[in-house]
Structure 1
């Protein structure tokens, strides 16, 4: 009963604001405000407000919301772990097989990061150990640009 009264008051206030807005020749904004103002009355008339009021005080409903939140959390966590791990198991296997054959992995498959490379084994690419060699690329770029 109180929820219906509040929704009716909110709708009346919104329609009043829409009338003032239309009086100021802002018809598009007035129509949008009127649409928002009619939503609470429509929700009362369809029974949604009564259902929400009974749901708000139901412990079973809150437990259900908790279960839905836990499910969402599991979906989000597994997706984040999958993205961080370099894709699905099938994609990682294909990338590993391509490296063994000496091929580059297909473009649709993600490249593995350093942690995945260590788990697979040593790479065939030569590694630089001298610190001066690390800066030779930077020096070449600077010389190219005249710096």
Structure 2
């Protein structure tokens, strides 16, 4: 009941300000002010205000919001612990660090693709025999040896 009275007073004040604005020949601004001032009365008439007040002043609703917040915090904590421990990915990260520290498995494996399609500055194409590895399967053998196969 009190909220309906407050909303009606807000609407009346807003319509009064809209009338003064229209008196000053600012009709576009007066129309916007009138539109905003009619919103509280519309909310009271549709029952939204009663629903909001019943939600705000019930302790069970606030307890529900508290439980939802607790649930969100627990989800974030569990994700943080999972990332910190590296569950499911700790070994892979250690292996990646070891590989990065030791260098590439076959550093010359991509050498033929670096300059094979472009001629050199002198007009001659680089010889593929110099940059190609002696054995085509040397990089595969290195990978297999690394994994113990």
Q: TM-score, normalised by structure 1?
A: 0.50
Q: TM-score, normalised by structure 2?
A: 0.49
Larger CA Rg, structure 1 vs 2: 2
